[in-house]
Amino acid sequence: MEPLTPLTPTISSEEARVFLKKRVREKIFANLAGAVMSLIAGAFCVLIVVWMAWLFTHSYTGKSNTWLWITLGVIVFSSVGYATTDSEYLSRLEIRTVDGRPAYNIPLPGGWHLSNVNRFSPTTARSQAKVVLQLLFALPRSFVGAWRYGKRTAALMKVEPSASAGMFAALASRGKRIPYEELAGQALKDPEKAFADLLLLDVAQHLETQPQGLVVTSKCREAMTGIKQDGMDF
């Protein structure tokens, strides 16, 4: 008979170190790609603003330099508005209808539309204004996203896989919650940074219930052990 696979396989610190080192490389690449894509999106938004400002200027005013002031005004307005507006507030959209039923918009032949949206409702008008603001805020949001990706990349470059390998090996082997007090002894140095590194790499999850601790993510444990984890010890 073939030997049974142990239910709780032991992961060595070296295996954990190799896994974390690979994870760091993947995360750095993903965040660098995110930063580049965000910068491209931001540059595209700027080009759209410049093009629309130029089109408006040459269609209505005829002045050659007005497009520049319009562009600067839109960029300043969107940046200040993005910094001072709650994103959660913008995401809450409410549409009022004339018949109280869910909103619908049905295209008809000939370019007509059948809709029950009450466009004269102040609530509907506010929601439409929020949509316009979300489009305007796409410009600063792209550059802020690139900055955040850059900061995350810088933090990932400071991760030391060997320092938290023992801690991660214990988490992957047990597959259940391990309190911080017990995990601290597995770190080679600076346990707090080791905790933060594991969270930054998305290989562990913080559990707030007592006793507070970490638990390995199911995907990481499956990758390390080949055993699917149906649930976590909360």
At residue 228, the pLDDT reads: 58
Residues 209 and 176 placed together within one structural domain of the fold? yes
Residue 166 resides in a domain: yes
Residues 163 and 122 placed together within one structural domain of the fold? no
Residues 217 and 163 placed together within one structural domain of the fold? yes
Residues 162 and 220 placed together within one structural domain of the fold? yes
Distance of CA 180 to the CA centre of its chain: 27
Residue 1 resides in a domain: no
Of 77, 103, 136, the residue that ends a domain is: 136
At residue 100, the pLDDT reads: 80
Residues 179 and 217 placed together within one structural domain of the fold? yes
Question: Count of domains in the chain?
Answer: 2
Residues 111 and 170 placed together within one structural domain of the fold? no
At residue 227, the pLDDT reads: 55
Q: Cα angle vertex 107, ends 101, 113, to 5°? A: 70
pLDDT per residue rounded down to tens, the chain (234 residues) = 334 344 456 878 888 899 999 999 999 999 999 999 999 999 999 999 888 888 888 777 666 778 888 888 888 988 888 888 888 888 888 888 888 888 878 888 877 878 888 888 888 888 888 888 888 888 999 999 999 999 999 999 999 999 888 889 888 888 888 898 888 887 777 889 989 999 999 999 999 888 898 998 888 888 777 655 554 454
Neighbouring C-beta atoms of residue 16, cutoff 10 Å:
25
CATH of residue 220 = 1.10.10.10
Residue 190 resides in a domain: yes
What does the alpha-carbon distance between residue 133 and residue 77 come to, in Å, rounded to a whole number?
10
Residue 187 resides in a domain: yes
Of 136, 170, 191, the residue that ends a domain is: 136
Domain, as residue range, for 212: 13-28+158-225
Residues 218 and 167 placed together within one structural domain of the fold? yes
User: In sequence order, which residues have a C-beta less than 8 Å from that of residue 116 and are 6 or more positions away?
Assistant: 97, 98, 99, 101, 103, 104
Residues 125 and 180 placed together within one structural domain of the fold? no
Residue 66 resides in a domain: no
* Amino acid letter for position 107: P
